[in-house]
């Protein structure tokens, strides 16, 4: 539970726009609104009906601050489950701050980051996984991330976790009942039954855990590094993908000496794209540092785009790069396909098993096929617009992993012939770990940490 003082904040971005929204939530919301809101005819509004929109003015004393629409929402039918007032005003920085200052002057306090959503969670409006999905929706960088966040916001993860917990709870209750009343509950043959049920639960939890690698890529983007020898077209590719002249392009080898970073969207995925210095043996100190950085970023990448000049033969440096990307997700792009070809895809495949394709950064041929290949590499058939929930939150991952270990302990205990009460302890540990995903028995400091990451006004 929490002390329901009244909070207020600007819920729209702090930049000039057509409209802005000031949100007020708490027991004094309606009282504060009645002090500062006046109808178009200049009268105070002493009473607000729920789920009504009112037209009028916000005043600070006798001074009119802005012409507004005011929305009244009575508890518990609001986002926070508290009495809530939303003021739709003009979206200038000054006018929004003046209205917020007037609200605070009349009895509210400035909300902490995420406090409106935190109150929705504490008021039972949503579980913790749904609350966390709110910020994921706001931060979504692509359609996959948004779709998955919406699923969690509408309770898909909660339903999945609750279903597993209900099955675990049944087994705990059955064991406890059998130990307390052995005459009416028979445990003969129960080990085989529990082994089968626990095995199915373990499979489901492992499947959820395994989705995290794809989920992290969906939510955070694919860390993509472009590598290759000098003057093979790396910077030209960067410019094509970003749609702007992000990198200087010349015929002089070694033009790119530092690291260039751009966030881009390809298909429904986000890429954190990094263009590196051309890789070659050099005595130039600055260029050598650029090459070392290129190797470092390549080692840390989710995806490597190795560019080659198809108008020249394969050389020793290319072969070294093939070896460097051997254990990485990589696509080899044979650039300059508009020129006479001296290196064909079949020849490259003699040195590497990576996907090889021809492109031209000059006329952009092959680029669409290249984009489709990236989506194919990173998005499995189960990720899309179905009901499958993908884990993207590290807190959820750790708790699911704890639950997995507890279920494994149950199965090990069955194999070792442990007494049923020991099995019940491990089942309870799994039950509680999953409960923390959706916010049951979660520590206050963890809740505070989660909502502190939210933006102001949400």
164-183 mean pLDDT: 86
100-122 mean pLDDT: 91
- pLDDT attached to residue 143: 66
Cα 383 to Cα 387: distance, rounded to the nearest angstrom: 9
96-121 mean pLDDT: 92
- pLDDT attached to residue 85: 96
Token pair 């992993």 is found at: 401
pLDDT tens digit string along 2-33?
457 999 999 988 777 889 999 999 999 999 99
- pLDDT attached to residue 204: 94
pLDDT tens digit string along 197-215?
999 999 999 998 988 877 7
The token pair at 430 is 């799994």
- Domain ranges in the chain are 7-125, 130-211+390-438, 220-378
Q: Measured between alpha carbons, how far is residue 15 from residues 21, 22, 116, 388 in Å?
A: 12, 14, 21, 37
pLDDT tens digit string along 134-164?
777 766 666 666 676 677 767 788 899 999 9
pLDDT bracket for residue 249 (50, 70, 90): very low
Cα 358 to Cα 21: distance, rounded to the nearest angstrom: 51
pLDDT bracket for residue 114 (50, 70, 90): confident
The token pair at 74 is 């009575």
> 7-125 in CATH: which number?
3.30.1360.120
- Helix ranges (H only) for 305-350 are 316-324, 345-348
- pLDDT attached to residue 252: 41
Crossing angle of the two packed helices 143-153 and 128-139, in degrees rounded to 10 = 160
The token pair at 32 is 């504060």
Selected from 3.40.50.300, 3.30.470.20, 3.40.50.2000, 2.30.40.10, the CATH number assigned to the domain covering 220-378 reads 3.40.50.300
- pLDDT attached to residue 443: 65
Q: What is the pTM assigned to this prediction? A: 0.65
Percent of the chain beyond pLDDT 90? 34
Cα 170 to Cα 86: distance, rounded to the nearest angstrom: 44
- pLDDT attached to residue 247: 43
Q: Say yes or no to pLDDT of 225 above 50.
A: yes
Instruction: Kindly indicate whether the domain formed by 130-211+390-438 is annotated with CATH number 1.10.287.470.
Output: no
Which H or E run contains 52? strand 52-60
- pLDDT attached to residue 1: 41
Reference 33, options 3, 69, 4, 5; nearest CA is 69
pLDDT tens digit string along 397-414?
999 999 999 999 999 999
- pLDDT attached to residue 366: 87
Q: How many residues does the chain have?
A: 458
DSSP 13-31: -SS-EEEEEEEEESTTHHH
Instruction: Return the biggest CA–CA distance within the chain.
Output: 88
């Amino acid at each position: 539970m929490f002390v329901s003082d009244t909070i207020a904040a600007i819920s729209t971005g702090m930049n000039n726009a057509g409209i802005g929204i000031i949100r007020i939530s708490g027991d004094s919301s309606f009282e504060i609104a009645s002090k500062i809101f006046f109808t178009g005819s200049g009268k105070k509004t002493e009473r607000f009906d729920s789920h009504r929109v009112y037209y009028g003015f916000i005043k600070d004393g006798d001074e009119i601050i802005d012409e507004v629409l005011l929305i009244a929402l009575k508890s518990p039918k609001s986002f926070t489950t508290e009495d809530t007032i939303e003021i739709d005003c003009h979206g200038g920085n000054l006018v929004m701050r003046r209205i917020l200052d007037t609200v605070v002057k009349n009895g509210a306090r400035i909300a902490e980051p995420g406090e409106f959503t935190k109150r929705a969670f504490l008021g039972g409006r949503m579980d913790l996984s749904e609350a966390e999905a709110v910020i994921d929706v706001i931060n979504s960088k692509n359609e996959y991330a948004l779709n998955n966040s919406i699923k969690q916001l509408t309770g898909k993860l909660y339903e999945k976790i609750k279903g597993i917990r209900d099955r675990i709870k049944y087994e705990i209750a059955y064991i406890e009942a059998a130990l307390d009343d052995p005459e009416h509950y028979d445990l003969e043959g129960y080990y085989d039954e529990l082994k089968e049920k626990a095995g199915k639960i373990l499979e489901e939890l492992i499947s959820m855990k395994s989705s995290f690698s794809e989920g992290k890529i969906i939510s955070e983007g694919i860390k993509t590094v472009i590598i290759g020898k000098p003057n093979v077209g790396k910077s030209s590719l960067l410019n094509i993908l970003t749609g702007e002249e992000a990198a200087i392009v010349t015929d002089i080898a070694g033009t790119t000496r530092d690291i260039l970073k751009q966030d881009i969207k390809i298909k429904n995925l986000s890429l954190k794209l990094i263009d590196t210095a051309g890789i070659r043996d050099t005595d130039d100190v600055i260029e050598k540092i650029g090459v070392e950085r290129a190797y470092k970023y390549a080692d840390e990448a989710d995806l490597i785009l190795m560019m080659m000049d198809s108008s020249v033969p394969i050389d020793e440096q290319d072969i070294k790069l093939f070896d460097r990307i051997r254990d990485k997700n990589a696509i080899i792009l044979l650039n300059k396909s508009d020129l006479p070809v001296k290196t064909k895809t079949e020849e490259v495949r003699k040195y590497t098993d990576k996907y090889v394709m021809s492109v031209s950064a000059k006329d952009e041929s092959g680029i669409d096929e290249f984009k489709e290949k990236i989506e194919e590499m990173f998005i499995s058939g189960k990720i899309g617009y179905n009901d499958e929930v993908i884990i993207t939150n590290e807190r959820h991952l750790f708790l699911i992993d704890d639950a997995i270990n507890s279920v494994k302990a149950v199965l090990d205990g069955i194999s070792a012939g442990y007494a049923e009460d020991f099995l019940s302890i491990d089942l309870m540990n799994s039950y509680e770990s999953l409960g923390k995903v959706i916010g049951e028995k979660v520590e206050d400091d963890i809740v505070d940490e989660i909502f502190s990451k939210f933006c102001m006004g949400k």
